[in-house]
Amino acid sequence: MRREIFAADHDAFRDQFRRFVTAEIEPHIAEWNAAGITPRSIWKRMGEEGYLGCNMPEQWGGAGADFLFDAIIMEELAYARAHCVQASLNTDICMPYLETYGTDAQKARFLAPAIAGDILLAIAMTEPSTGSDLANVQTKAVRDGDEYVVNGAKTFISNGQNADLIIVVAKTDPTARHAGMSLVLVEGDRPGFERGRNLDKIGLKGQDTSELFFNDCRVPASNRLGDEGQGFKMLMEKLQQERLCICVGSMASIRRSLDDTLAYVKQRKAFGQPIGQFQNTQFKLAELETHYEVGQAFTDKLLTAHVRGDDIVTEVSMGKYWTTDLQKRVASECLQLHGGYGFMEEYPISADYCDSAVQTIYAGTNEIMKVIIAKRLGLDG
């Protein structure tokens, strides 16, 4: 069924990008997953083809297109199970910080090369002892003349091994909570910056996810994004889009799990007939398909509102927790319908099951999403 939020130019772009994924990404996914990291060359190719920064201004090399073009890229990569290519992180989560809060000098130095695929971006929020409680970060950026001296540790940082530029959430005023946070840009070759392990995960195998360490790492004061003490405010402003990205990817992954499972139950036989002819199978898939349609309709509503510029923090929080919970349920139910084969790694549904686990955790746990919703309903006392 064609989705009404997309126009003819979106459909043409989807066909074009799908051909790119088929030719240049899908043949390598297994190899990149086994390596635990995606090569830099694919990022350069995506930059050359104009697939990074579609939503960014033409002045810096972007296409100046609406966010739906970026959503198409997210959907096609998720449907192909190309989670190893963290395009939404680089393009739709990190780039907006540079585009919105960066100076022209910072944009020329970092944003334009990122759109071209010459540098990769990461954002470092989570710490070994700090997850959802961002105001409690312990990493410090202390002003020393025309420089900041950064000290601290981060963990679970996506793109951590590959990134050339990291947006670091740090305390410039350690005595304050929210008001003491700032965003500091740290280049990957700065003395005092060290990459730790490429962490071994149960899912999303091709995504490099790392520990990062800052030991008296000096960066010029001109590397601060926006005003000092405004870091928390900037994070809150951009988390709407980050969480919407999760919704978009989750729904595309759900669609792939369902498509593969529908094909499987039509050809797999038990007791002399395809298992798709058993009432239990029919009821399970009828239910999951219905939930998919509801989730996709809500996600499309969120996309339309976001493109329009609406404040949809409450609705995106609803979407993030609901679609990711659904993704985990669909992956589990579809694995069950595959029987013993679903437990074998040669069947992609097993990867869907493992990959879905983190969706309810990152970009704010689903418990935090419910806290946000409750507060916006006036239930926080």
The Cα 97–Cα 106 span in angstroms is: 11
Q: The tokens of 20 are what?
A: 């790119």
CB 77 within 8 A of CB 87: yes
Report the catalytic residues: 242
> In Å, what is the CA distance from 90 to each residue of 48, 79, 174, 350?
15, 19, 29, 27
> In Å, what is the CA distance from 113 to each residue of 7, 162, 257?
30, 15, 35
CB 338 within 8 A of CB 261: yes
C-alpha triplet 20, 205, 190: angle, nearest 5°: 90
**How many C-beta atoms lie closer than 10 Å to residue 58's C-beta?**
10
Q: Which residues contact 122 (CB under 8 A, 6 or more apart)?
A: 89, 94, 157, 158, 159, 160, 162, 163, 165, 166, 167
Nearest to 81 by CA among 4, 145, 15, 28: 28
Amino acid 327 reads Q
The Cα 334–Cα 229 span in angstroms is: 47
Cα 80 to chain centroid distance, Å, stands at 15
